[in-house]
Amino acid sequence: MNNTIRFSILTVMMAACFTIGFIQPVIAGSAAEIDRDVDNALSKLYDKSNAAKELSKVAKGILVFPNIIKGGFIVGGHYGEGALRKGGKTAGYYNTVSASYGLQIGAQTFGYALFFTDEASLEHLKKIDGWELGAGPTIAVVDEGLERTLSTTTAKEGIYAFFFDQKGLMAGLTIHGSKITPITPK
């Protein structure tokens, strides 16, 4: 067997091991588990990001996906469950799903929170039965640069996305093309 085939087999086996190891924490199962994971994720996010903490004070709603698994070998995808918070209380449960095809390999877990700063953006989430991110309201991904300038006076409308707890080996972190759908957990 030549080295290319050995490397390919080893890579597939590593990706499968990473994926199997990451799946358990991602599938929440019950509303209580999702709520607990969302509470923990928001607490960690607020400890690390002053911008997220300040934005939470004016956000009309915050959709949090605390544990998402992403994996791929040529064909890839991600899945996670989360909750929409309004006024600190859960207002609904959602999942996020995406599929992709192309040059990709690896597995990772991560979380993200979407801060809805206006009613129109939040209404868009509620009106449709499945929202594909990138189609609809504008989403600004908050990176280190934007975080330095983001404040409650500059965040007037739209949606702000914060990523957190990235673990694993996979190039790229994106939510464009993800579909968010309401769910009824156990």
Which pLDDT score, from 0 to 100, does residue 157 have?
Answer: 63
Give residue 34's Cα distance to chain centre.
13
- As a whole number, the mean pLDDT across the chain is 75
CA distance 179 to 100: 12
CA distance 36 to 28: 10
User: What range defines the domain where residue 46 resides?
Assistant: 3-183
What 8-state DSSP symbol labels residue 50?
H
Conformation bin of residue 12: beta by default, left when phi > 0, alpha when psi is -120 to 50: alpha
- As a whole-number percent, the residues of the chain with pLDDT over 90 amount to 30
Question: pLDDT higher for 129 or 90?
Answer: 90
pTM, to two decimals: 0.75
Question: pLDDT higher for 30 or 12?
Answer: 30
- What are 73-103's pLDDT values in tens digits? 777 788 999 999 999 999 999 999 887 766 6
- pLDDT band at residue 176 using 50, 70 and 90 as cut-offs: low
Residue 22 has pLDDT above 80, yes or no: no
Lowest mean pLDDT among 36-40, 63-67, 109-113, 156-160: 156-160
Number of domains in the chain: 1
CA distance 64 to 2: 46
